[in-house]
Chain A
Amino acid sequence: MALTGIQIFKLLPKTNCKECGVPTCLAFAMNLAAGKAELASCPYVSEEARAQLSEAAAPPIRPLTVGSGENAVKIGGETVLFRHEKTFVNKPGFAILISDVTPGDEINERLKRFKVLRYERVGLTLRPEMIAIKNESGDPSKFETLVKKVKSETDAALILMSEKVEALAAGVKASSDRVPLIYAATDGNLEALANLAGENKCPLAVKATDLETLSGSAEKLIAAGLKDLVLDSGSRTLRRAFEDQVFIRRAALLQKNRSLGFPTIAFPCEMTKDPMKEALIAATFVAKYAGIIVMSDLQGESLFPLLVERLNIYTDPQRPMTMQPGIYPIGNPGEESPVLVTVNFSLTYFIVSGEIESSRIPSWLLVMDTEGLSVLTAWAAGKFVGDAIGAFIKKSGISEKVKRRQVIIPGAVAVISGDLEEELGSDWKVKTGPREAAHLPAFLKMGA
């Protein structure tokens, strides 16, 4: 974990040779601590210091990847307990569970749901990424067949679950190019699975019954040369599992505990039989720290809210979500339909477009690039003002889509209507809409 500038300074040559580009070693150390310089810029640093410093620079929770190709799932790499302290970085992977004793029809249905349940939002595709394949039959060849099937029919990142080393070996053999997560190393099979994971360069999950044993097992695996581990504390009641998530995250960040400095895997599917409740348990782990969340099934009604929650919690709080600027037709509008203009802060867009939709009056919504600022902030920053909006409207191409030359502006910026009219010229009219988006349906229904 991060050293202070002074701690780093002690490891440097202290010759003030200036070859790194700054006048003193102390200044260079300060830059290193702030992440503004690279150790490689110092030509004289000793091997020993280099090793110590790179060890210290390693992220407290190891980032790792399960899967390969475009749908590879990156997890871990988190640096904070609360998203407002910086941001959460790597969204937890959502996995659907498939067992080799599940009837074939049901397996096909699940694979189909895995493939079709996708949603477009703020220009992103929200989808589940992972499939956990469980060997319940005890038969390695049956397991291998299912792994092959899932691999060939989907792009899923795979989690291979079995209590038998032999079955896991067969599963890995069938899918090692897909870089599956092997689940799970326990006291009894630690060495065998360490070899399997090491030889195939696959990440390995570690499961224990409490954090002390978990940390001990992880330590052994690290000593065996493994780098990519995923932790399962074994708790399956909500309170214990929640607390373990908090403990593991804190141990990694606050105690710099290397043996717990890995992403976690949570199993709502093993915590309840009620699919609705399972979704709420999964929601808990989205907010509180899971790296992978395994669910017994995926249905639109539970998956969609979970995907949206995950998107929300993992949004960078320092950078607002933005919409692509442009013309958004709502409800199949025509050339006489109303034209409204707003900012490209995604929340504003969602609320405004939602209200227009609920009015059931087909409309054109123009979304202008305000760098993600909301209406009033963008106005105050001089980005959502008459001449800027006028120029945007003229360039947007809306004139080719409508005959009625009238644009509705948010009520909060009523003061700009004069400037905007001037900028647009005499054939356009500017109408001031309501201050609150909630009043848009009434406003539009009155014949705006």
Chain B
Amino acid sequence: MAFQIPQITYSGKIKEVTLGKGPKAVTIGGENSYPFHLFEGEMAHPPRIAMEVYDAPPEDWPETALEPFSDVVHDPVAWAKKCIESYGADLVALQLVSTDPNGLNRPSEEAAETAKKVASSIDVPLIVWGSANADKDGDVLRKVAEVCDGMNLIIGPVVEGNYKQVGAGAIGYRHTAIASSPIDINLAKQLNILLGNLGIPDGQILVDPTTGGLGYGIEYTYSVMERDRMAALTQQDERLQFPIICNMAKEVWKTKEAKASAEEAPALGDPRRRGILMEAMTAVVLLLAGADILVMRHPEAIKMVREMISDLMAK
């Protein structure tokens, strides 16, 4: 008996979303099969990697993560340019950590100015990620949306507690919103419905399932993403047919295993290669579960993951 490839029939498709403006705009989504199951469907647009930029010099990064950026950590614009010029970033993700009320608590206006400066000095799409404090982000992201009118930024995390405020900004000033829910497929769907009801067009929504790091809950993220894709592609769950973004680098690099020195943890091997591998491996796991955009940090991890994507998609 001839071997028949056991195929699955899909009934749904992930929506296409175009990020940014101009010749370097990036389109993602459009998959009509499970991730890299190219024998029975297509990934119209390959997954992309956004490189992180922080709006304040990082304090708790291990040397490995800091080293490639040590000359630019004080200047988000220079940092973003370095990501593009030296490391070929397709997108930049500006992390507005300094706005955190439990940290530096910088005012929203200042953050919005930083976002605008970065956005207008680069030609690739810009993701602007708040401090994940729902109240503060409501104000910060709203102002970012306003001062960057029409630049088609990607702003988030938009949560149930601030979706009206941030969502209105996304509609009014034409940006893409990142709908963020705490590792729960039903909450993800509900927020997508709310954003739709608010009037955000489908082509302006990404989903952030909340990312757990390797060893710190990645299995929850992994399974929520697989369930999400199953519902979107095989059960015609229209309100889950959005591209997925994983803000993963900060989850990887804050773990003690990514930070530990060779003296502290001799059994964990070379600290530099370990940190890079932990980031790259987290990325691979998330790609297999269905990530469309990965927010990453270390240039070498990024290079390896790009290669994995192209090997998985090789003709």
Interface residues of chain A, those whose CB is within 8 Å of chain B, are: 82-84, 116-119, 121, 210-212, 215, 237-239, 242-243, 246-247, 250-251, 254-255, 276-277, 279-281, 283-284, 287-288, 299-306, 308-309, 311-313, 315, 317, 347, 350-351, 354, 357-358, 434, 436, 439, 442
Q: How large is the interface on B (under 10, 10 to 19, 20 to 34, 35 or more residues)?
A: 35 or more
Give every chain A residue within 8 A of B39 (Cβ-Cβ). 243
With beta carbons under 8 angstroms apart, the residue of A254, A255, A304 that contacts B257 is: A304
Task: Indicate whether B214 reaches chain A with its CB closer than 8 angstroms.
Answer: yes
With beta carbons under 8 angstroms apart, the residue of A254, A255, A305, A439 that contacts B274 is: A305
Q: Specify which of A251, A309, A351 lies most central, judged by the most chain B CB atoms within 10 Å of its CB.
A: A309
Top 10 closest pairs, chain A to chain B, by CB: A300-B269, A301-B269, A301-B274, A250-B6, A238-B311, A312-B219, A308-B215, A212-B3, A84-B223, A301-B273
CA A281 to CA B304, docked complex, whole Å: 11
Give every chain B residue within 8 A of A309 (Cβ-Cβ). 214, 218, 281, 285
Report if A277-B60 is in contact (Cβ < 8 Å); known contacts: A250-B6, A312-B219.
no
CA A237 to CA B315, docked complex, whole Å: 11
CA A301 to CA B285, docked complex, whole Å: 17
With beta carbons under 8 angstroms apart, the residue of B2, B223, B268, B312 that contacts A301 is: B268
Whether the Cβ atoms of B223 and A83 lie closer than 8 Å is yes
Give every chain A residue within 8 A of B3 (Cβ-Cβ). 210-212, 215, 251
CA A303 to CA B274, docked complex, whole Å: 9
Q: Can you offer 27 A-B residue contacts whose CB atoms are under 8 A?
A: A82-B223, A84-B227, A121-B215, A210-B3, A211-B3, A237-B314, A238-B308, A238-B311, A238-B314, A239-B36, A239-B313, A239-B314, A242-B312, A247-B5, A276-B276, A279-B281, A284-B284, A301-B268, A304-B257, A308-B214, A309-B214, A312-B215, A312-B218, A351-B216, A354-B256, A436-B102, A439-B102
Q: Which of B34-69 contact A (CB under 8 A)?
A: 36-39, 60
Whether the Cβ atoms of B312 and A238 lie closer than 8 Å is yes
- In the complex, residue of chain A having the shortest beta-carbon distance to the beta carbon of B221: A312
Report if A117-B267 is in contact (Cβ < 8 Å); known contacts: A284-B288, A305-B278.
yes
Chain B 293-315 interface mask (CB, 8 Å, partner A; 1/0): 00000000000110110011110
Task: Indicate whether B4 reaches chain A with its CB closer than 8 angstroms.
Answer: yes
Chain B 1-21 interface mask (CB, 8 Å, partner A; 1/0): 011111010000000000000
Give every chain A residue within 8 A of B168 (Cβ-Cβ). none
- In the complex, residue of chain A having the shortest beta-carbon distance to the beta carbon of B229: A82
Report if A304-B268 is in contact (Cβ < 8 Å); known contacts: A84-B226, A242-B312.
yes
Task: Indicate whether B173 reaches chain A with its CB closer than 8 angstroms.
Answer: no
Whether the Cβ atoms of B222 and A313 lie closer than 8 Å is yes
- In the complex, residue of chain B having the shortest beta-carbon distance to the beta carbon of A212: B3
Known pairs A238-B312, A246-B37, A302-B273 / 16 extra A-B pairs, C-beta < 8 Å = A82-B223, A277-B308, A281-B308, A283-B285, A287-B222, A304-B274, A305-B215, A305-B278, A306-B281, A308-B215, A308-B257, A317-B223, A354-B216, A357-B256, A358-B259, A442-B102
CA A300 to CA B266, docked complex, whole Å: 8
Nearest CB on B from A223, distance (A)? 14
Give every chain A residue within 8 A of B277 (Cβ-Cβ). 276, 279-280, 301-302, 305
Task: Indicate whether B230 reaches chain A with its CB closer than 8 angstroms.
Answer: yes
Task: Indicate whether B110 reaches chain A with its CB closer than 8 angstroms.
Answer: no
Q: Which of B143-194 contact A (CB under 8 A)?
A: none
Q: Chain A's interface: helix, strand, loop or mixed, by majority?
A: helix
Whether the Cβ atoms of B6 and A239 lie closer than 8 Å is no
CA A276 to CA B284, docked complex, whole Å: 13
- In the complex, residue of chain B having the shortest beta-carbon distance to the beta carbon of A279: B277
- In the complex, residue of chain A having the shortest beta-carbon distance to the beta carbon of B212: A347
Chain B 251-279 interface mask (CB, 8 Å, partner A; 1/0): 00011110100000011111101101110
Task: Indicate whether B217 reaches chain A with its CB closer than 8 angstroms.
Answer: yes
- In the complex, residue of chain B having the shortest beta-carbon distance to the beta carbon of A119: B267
Whether the Cβ atoms of B304 and A255 lie closer than 8 Å is no
Whether the Cβ atoms of A280 and B5 lie closer than 8 Å is no
Whether the Cβ atoms of B230 and A82 lie closer than 8 Å is yes
CA A442 to CA B267, docked complex, whole Å: 30
- In the complex, residue of chain A having the shortest beta-carbon distance to the beta carbon of B268: A300
CA A238 to CA B289, docked complex, whole Å: 17
With beta carbons under 8 angstroms apart, the residue of B6, B256, B280, B312 that contacts A276 is: B280
Whether the Cβ atoms of B274 and A300 lie closer than 8 Å is yes
- In the complex, residue of chain A having the shortest beta-carbon distance to the beta carbon of B307: A277
- In the complex, residue of chain A having the shortest beta-carbon distance to the beta carbon of B279: A305
Nearest CB on B from A355, distance (A)? 9
With beta carbons under 8 angstroms apart, the residue of B102, B276, B285, B311 that contacts A287 is: B285
Give every chain A residue within 8 A of B280 (Cβ-Cβ). 276, 280
Give every chain A residue within 8 A of B313 (Cβ-Cβ). 239
CA A350 to CA B131, docked complex, whole Å: 22
CA A274 to CA B103, docked complex, whole Å: 41
CA A434 to CA B276, docked complex, whole Å: 31
Give every chain B residue within 8 A of A251 (Cβ-Cβ). 3, 6
Whether the Cβ atoms of A283 and B215 lie closer than 8 Å is no
Nearest CB on A from B304, distance (A)? 6
CA A308 to CA B254, docked complex, whole Å: 16
Whether the Cβ atoms of B215 and A350 lie closer than 8 Å is yes
Give every chain A residue within 8 A of B4 (Cβ-Cβ). 255
- In the complex, residue of chain A having the shortest beta-carbon distance to the beta carbon of B185: A84
- In the complex, residue of chain A having the shortest beta-carbon distance to the beta carbon of B226: A82
Give every chain B residue within 8 A of A300 (Cβ-Cβ). 266-270, 274
